[in-house]
Chains A and B, each alone.
Chain A
Amino acid sequence: MMLKSALPFLAIASSFAISANAKPAPNPPPYAGIYQPQGVDELGMWREDDEGERRLAASPLVIRDEKLTKYLKDVLCSAVGTDRCNSTRIYVVREPTFNATMSPNGTMRVFSGLLLRMRNEAELAAILGHEFGHFESRHSLSKFQATRRGTDMLAWGALLASMTPSYDSRRTYQSLEISVYGSLFRYSRDNEREADLLGLGYLNKSGLRPQAASEVWQNLIGEIEASATSRGLKKPRFDAVAFTASHPPEGERAGYLAALAEPTGADRDDGAVRYREALSGWLPVFLEDQIKLNDFGGSEYIIAKLSESGWTPHLWLARAELYRTRGHQRDLVNAVQFYSNAIALDSNLPDAYRGLGLSLIKTGDQTQGQAALSKYLALKPNADDAKMIALMLPKEPSQ
């Protein structure tokens, strides 16, 4: 009874679906000028968020590289247009997972793990445009209000159910609970779809190749599969929606994003060379963070994808470190090979000599291993672990 009368009033979930045969995403609505928060909820959220941004700006997690931040801002501007993009501030957060977030007041957090996985400007622009779509549609605010409506109703429902304690009222309350939580999660997924649609609208209008948006998700599916395979897990499903999923499944997104991309944009530039150039200084650091995640399959997949545009010394070094840190004897043999490849391309990589030496010693090749370690110390005499490494070298003959 109560459930029936309550549901229309709830109305927090509108059905919003994009079919995989959708037409290309329409142009975004005209820019409405600088936005200021309105109403007590939004003012309050922005106020909290301004404080949060103040803390973020002084956080040790933020990568303070003016050039990199400016480059990301330029990519965002090229996607959403220079008028829109100035309402956001981008912070690169050193966090090796695939994510970017947008908060109500226009604070955009881009995780370093995202930058590692993107292969060109168009892919990056697809993600940044999606996040900007959340901002332009004020999703945080509507999500907060929907959550409040839902939890308010649950509080009243709980009260009513306890007034007439019976099996029926309890069951009704429980179904209400499930439908409220379910619709809140669905609401979140619908917001994501809407942001995807807007993001593709920006991308279609920009000078970048919109097909890249779908490739981001295809690539991520590949990584998740590789990670699951190497851990011996059941093959993950990319089409099923879990009850608590906050985002639509990767397969669905890859499908409709491909359909939303303007077909005539397929031969546009995707800025792969510019992207690699801009990220070149940070790539070794991001790779190192990724390897420390202890996700062998996923890391191997990322390195393989990056190597499609040619093996660099740092890629060989990263692959070698990945194998050495897993550390089976068979891995060490491979690692020796990869370190040697890195050294062949760049003979001044101290970390390659360090890893090579450690791997060689573990596989029984003491002499060559020690030679590599002394080379490491010669190249990097002030290394943090210099004293420990020196212990592994033959002692100087005492006088």
Chain B
Amino acid sequence: MKSIVWSIALAIGIFACSIAPSFAQERSAIKQGFELAPNSGKRILVLRPSVRVGAQSTGGLFEPNADWTEKAKENIHRTLKEYQAKLGNATVVAPEAYGESAQIVEEHMALFASVSQAVIEYQFFVGNRLPTKKLDNKNDVFDWSLGTGVSELPGAKDADYALFIYNKDAYGSTGRKILQVMALLGPGVAVQSGEHVGYAGLVDLKTGDLLWLNADAAMGGDVRELEGSQKRVSQLLEDFPGSNIGKE
């Protein structure tokens, strides 16, 4: 009996696991000694946010939805603009890049994604912490860098920091929701419906150091609606250095 339930939980979860990262709690960290006072005259370069929105099929597959993604993209852009004032410092939207500078942007987006995944996996997720980093973790050391190459990013000359934003939403389909209820009522297996992951990071454009990272695997706010995306963005930018977002 036990083994059946186990194999079933495995079967239902198997596709969910392939997309769900192994962090479940909200975490954020800031580089030691870094402070960004409001109205310090620093400029923040906002890079093109990565937004993916879709549904989650009954079996747990991600079903991309073009309409939702477009809506979410627009909502998040609008909200980011509105929040510029609240960020406490001036923001610059990264210019469209061509040719070699487009390659540089792409490489840094990928590098940032890898580095922040590493932070989430090996620092935020306590169970995975490397034994060699025990002392660092005890002292709350947050020391990650993308390297000085970031200064070549288009628009980097006119800014001090770069803000990266990632967002992925999979809304549970009707089938998935029914499965969730039935699995709970029947054999008592917990099935997760929907997946809402996001993270945002601030990088120093001179040194490439990761100054601040906020990751959340269970975000609120429906990004398909303007109001929901305001909630989402304020969650993403919660504890942003020098801002009052999420604190009012």
Q: Which of A5-48 contact B (CB under 8 A)?
A: 40-41, 43-48
Q: Is A147 part of the binding interface, using a Cβ–Cβ cutoff of 8 Å? A: yes
Q: Is B208 part of the binding interface, using a Cβ–Cβ cutoff of 8 Å? A: no
Question: Which B residues lie within 8 Å of A242 (CB)?
Answer: none
Q: Is B187 part of the binding interface, using a Cβ–Cβ cutoff of 8 Å? A: yes
- Identify A155's interface contact among B1, B12, B107, B187, CB under 8 A: B12
Considering the chains assembled together, what is the distance between the CA atoms of A170 and B5 in angstroms? 10
**Interface on A for B, CB 8 Å cutoff?**
40-41, 43-48, 51, 55, 57-60, 144, 147-148, 150-159, 161-163, 165, 169-170, 173, 177
User: In the complex the two chains form, is B4's CB within 8 Å of A165's CB?
Assistant: yes
Q: Which 7 A-B pairs have the closest CB atoms?
A: A151-B59, A44-B64, A47-B66, A58-B106, A162-B187, A43-B66, A152-B58
Chain A: CB-nearest residue to B187: A162
Q: Smallest Cβ distance from B91 to chain A, in angstroms?
A: 23
Tell me the total A-B contact number using a CB cutoff of 8 A: 100
20 sample A-B contacts, Cβ–Cβ < 8 Å, listed by A number? A40-B63, A44-B54, A44-B66, A47-B69, A57-B102, A58-B102, A144-B61, A147-B61, A148-B63, A151-B57, A151-B58, A155-B12, A155-B58, A158-B7, A158-B11, A159-B187, A162-B8, A162-B189, A165-B5, A173-B11
Considering the chains assembled together, what is the distance between the CA atoms of A158 and B67 in angstroms? 32
Considering the chains assembled together, what is the distance between the CA atoms of A150 and B15 in angstroms? 12
The B contact surface, by secondary structure, is helix
User: In the complex the two chains form, is B65's CB within 8 Å of A44's CB?
Assistant: yes
Please judge, given known A-B contacts A159-B12, A163-B187, whether A154 and B102 are in contact too, CB under 8 Å. no
Question: Which B residues lie within 8 Å of A152 (CB)?
Answer: 57-59, 175
- Identify B7's interface contact among A58, A59, A170, CB under 8 A: A170
User: In the complex the two chains form, is B186's CB within 8 Å of A159's CB?
Assistant: yes
8 additional contacts (CB under 8 A) given A55-B110, A148-B57: A46-B66, A58-B97, A59-B106, A144-B61, A155-B58, A156-B58, A162-B187, A169-B4
The A contact surface, by secondary structure, is helix
Please judge, given known A-B contacts A60-B107, A159-B182, whether A170 and B4 are in contact too, CB under 8 Å. yes
Considering the chains assembled together, what is the distance between the CA atoms of A282 and B165 in angstroms? 39
- Identify B103's interface contact among A40, A47, A58, A154, CB under 8 A: A58
User: In the complex the two chains form, is B64's CB within 8 Å of A47's CB?
Assistant: yes
Considering the chains assembled together, what is the distance between the CA atoms of A58 and B63 in angstroms? 26
Question: Which B residues lie within 8 Å of A144 (CB)?
Answer: 61
- Identify B183's interface contact among A57, A151, A157, A159, CB under 8 A: A159
User: In the complex the two chains form, is A177's CB within 8 Å of B1's CB?
Assistant: no
User: In the complex the two chains form, is A161's CB within 8 Å of B8's CB?
Assistant: yes
Q: Is B60 part of the binding interface, using a Cβ–Cβ cutoff of 8 Å? A: yes
Considering the chains assembled together, what is the distance between the CA atoms of A11 and B65 in angstroms? 25
Please judge, given known A-B contacts A46-B66, A47-B64, A48-B52, whether A162 and B102 are in contact too, CB under 8 Å. no
Chain B: CB-nearest residue to A149: B59
User: In the complex the two chains form, is A159's CB within 8 Å of B8's CB?
Assistant: yes
Chain A: CB-nearest residue to B182: A159
Considering the chains assembled together, what is the distance between the CA atoms of A156 and B189 in angstroms? 13
User: In the complex the two chains form, is B183's CB within 8 Å of A48's CB?
Assistant: no
Q: Smallest Cβ distance from A106 to chain B, in angstroms?
A: 16
Question: Which B residues lie within 8 Å of A148 (CB)?
Answer: 57, 59, 61, 63
Please judge, given known A-B contacts A44-B64, A48-B52, whether A151 and B15 are in contact too, CB under 8 Å. yes
Please judge, given known A-B contacts A57-B102, A162-B187, whether A177 and B11 are in contact too, CB under 8 Å. yes
Q: Is B203 part of the binding interface, using a Cβ–Cβ cutoff of 8 Å? A: no
Question: Which A residues lie within 8 Å of B4 (CB)?
Answer: 161-162, 165, 169-170
Q: Is B94 part of the binding interface, using a Cβ–Cβ cutoff of 8 Å? A: no
Considering the chains assembled together, what is the distance between the CA atoms of A43 and B57 in angstroms? 16
Q: Smallest Cβ distance from A137 to chain B, in angstroms?
A: 20
Chain B: CB-nearest residue to A155: B59
User: In the complex the two chains form, is B106's CB within 8 Å of A151's CB?
Assistant: no
Please judge, given known A-B contacts A44-B54, A60-B107, whether A154 and B67 are in contact too, CB under 8 Å. no
